[in-house]
Amino acid sequence: MSINTYTVTGRLGTAPELRFAFDGGVAIFTARMAVAYRKRNGDDWAETTTWYDLKLFGGQAEAAAEILTKGDLVIAVGRVETREYEKKDGTKGFSTEFIANEVGQAIVAPRVGDGKTRREAPKPRVLDDEPF
């Protein structure tokens, strides 16, 4: 295991695609993943999104393709690679790939209100002379 391991949580921006290398060999799961975070710019906060080309291989790729769909919130553990390519207009482009060792659905509690206040527990209901 590498010490350069990243864990990211984001939403799938495309429908997952499952392909097989070498005539039915290794399964390859691919999808675009958007990771959003807030970044401070002086006194203001701005929402920023980083897009990754998410890739997963083998049996986990097949399992992920069965359960994940576009828009799902996922958590991925793996490494980041940047690739350089030439665009159609001749300029250089860069692609950021997230090569995952593990991918799964993220379970996040929904925010209530402004996200800063805690929701109070509901008060117990008192049933007047009602049988079970």
pLDDT over threshold 90, residue 51: yes
* Residue 130 counted as domain residue: no
The answer to whether residues 74 and 103 touch, using CB atoms and an 8 Å cutoff, is: yes
pLDDT value for 4: 80
Q: What is the pTM of this model?
A: 0.71
List all residues 6 or more positions away from 40 whose beta carbon is below 8 Å from its beta carbon.
46
List all residues 6 or more positions away from 15 whose beta carbon is below 8 Å from its beta carbon.
31, 69, 70
pLDDT over threshold 60, residue 108: yes
Range of the domain at 29: 6-105
* Residue 84 counted as domain residue: yes
* Residue 58 counted as domain residue: yes
113 or 34, which is more confident: 34
Over range 94-107, report the average pLDDT: 90
Over range 59-85, report the average pLDDT: 93
* Residue 112 counted as domain residue: no
* Residue 87 counted as domain residue: yes
The answer to whether residues 57 and 29 touch, using CB atoms and an 8 Å cutoff, is: yes
* Residue 94 counted as domain residue: yes
* Residue 12 counted as domain residue: yes
pLDDT value for 16: 95
Lowest-confidence range among 42-46, 69-73, 89-93? Answer: 42-46
Tens digit of pLDDT for each residue in 28-48?
999 999 999 888 888 888 888
- Count of domains in the chain? 1
* Residue 24 counted as domain residue: yes
Q: Could you tell me the CATH number of the domain that includes residue 70?
A: 2.40.50.140
User: Cα–Cα distance between 26 and 36 in angstroms, integer?
Assistant: 31
